[in-house]
Amino acid sequence: MPVPQAAADYYAAQQRLAAAVIANVRRLWQQVGLDLDAGWSQARPRLTALVSAGQYAAAQAVEPYLAEVLSETGQIDEAVTRIRPLSFVGVAGDGRPVETLLYGSVTTTKRSIATGATPAVARAAGSAWLDMAVQTVLADTGRAATGVGIAVRPTITGYVRMLNPPSCSRCTVLAGRWYRWSAGFARHPHCDCRHIPASENVAGDLTTSPLGYFESLSAAEQDRIFTVAGAQAIRDGADLGQVVNARRGMQRAVDGTASTTSGTSARSLAGRRMAANGDTVRLMPESIYEIAADRTEAIELLARFGFVS
């Protein structure tokens, strides 16, 4: 079946929200003069407030979206609790304060000037960086809230990754796959993919074909997205998943704790200690999914850290 209309409508609304916030952010950025630090100090409160309002709107839209898409796909909507939209405001996907993240526009501008760019070119680079950061923050907020909304609905065992063309090669490979509710959502900066809540028994009806998307593109677009050599290999019959390294550059939202490569995550151990001790360091939802022994504990931790009521 095609992508549920509720999912398509939700995505379109999120696009409109991001476009409106970015347009206002650009206007404020134009008011930051050549004295970057002074200009930023004046613009920062309004910029942060704009993005925070956008985050709240993105999170607030999740419960209606889940209700609509579950109804459309014939799935049971039984939430044991509800998300708290305000809890997703003010923090970026990697756990940093949004205010700290947005300052990257200033450092990008300064770096450009230091490498010889004119002030106009450097400011344009800072503006482009800010656009990317705001779009990513809003998308991450919506994804995080959707993930929590799925987690608190035990009848929904996972989600299908929704591809929103135009899409990069990495997202194309991951498109349409079913993931358990606790699986972190892999993405890259500017990634616009979203969740469609789906129990495993209905996921097959929602899957999309990466090869189908590839074949829908013109040869020029195939070459641009998958590289000339990669696209030709796929056209010659190579497996798309083998041609594209889907994990390269992809991340999941986490808190700031470290992890090891020995097979045991230090984040899991540290997170359990923080949860048990009531420490003030706030875990992000995807870190909670990682450390929780089961869904019941995950919901308890989501409540403890304020993501659900």
Residues 172, 283, single domain; the answer is: no
Domain shared by 35 and 109, yes or no: yes
Please tell me whether residues 86 and 124 are part of one structural domain.
yes
Q: Show the domain range for 286.
A: 266-304
Stated pTM of the model: 0.81
Higher pLDDT, 216 or 25: 25
Q: Are strands 158-162 and 178-180 parallel, antiparallel or unpaired?
A: antiparallel
Tell me, yes or no, whether 270 lies in a domain.
Answer: yes
- Is 46 contained in some domain? yes
- Domain end point (choices 156, 176, 203): 156
Read off the amino acid at residue 211.
L
Q: Which pLDDT belongs to residue 186?
A: 75
Pair (147, 168) in one structural domain: no
In a domain, 309, yes or no: no
More confident call, 257 vs 281 = 281
- Which tokens hold the place of 235? 């056209």
157 pLDDT above the threshold of 60: yes
**Residue ending a domain, choose from 156, 181, 198:** 156
User: What Rg value do the Cα atoms of the chain yield, rounded?
Assistant: 20
pLDDT at 246 over 50: no
Lowest mean pLDDT, pick from 121-130, 215-224, 264-273: 264-273
The predicted structure's pLDDT at residue 266 = 40
| Cα–Cα distance measured from residue 78 to residue 76, given in angstroms and rounded to the nearest whole number | 6
Which of 197, 85, 102, 204 lies closest to 151 in space, CA to CA?
197
Per-residue pLDDT band for 257 (boundaries 50, 70, 90) equals very low
Phi, psi of 283 (to 5 degrees): -75, 145
How would residue 144 be classed by pLDDT, with cut points 50, 70 and 90?
Answer: very high
The predicted structure's pLDDT at residue 31: 92
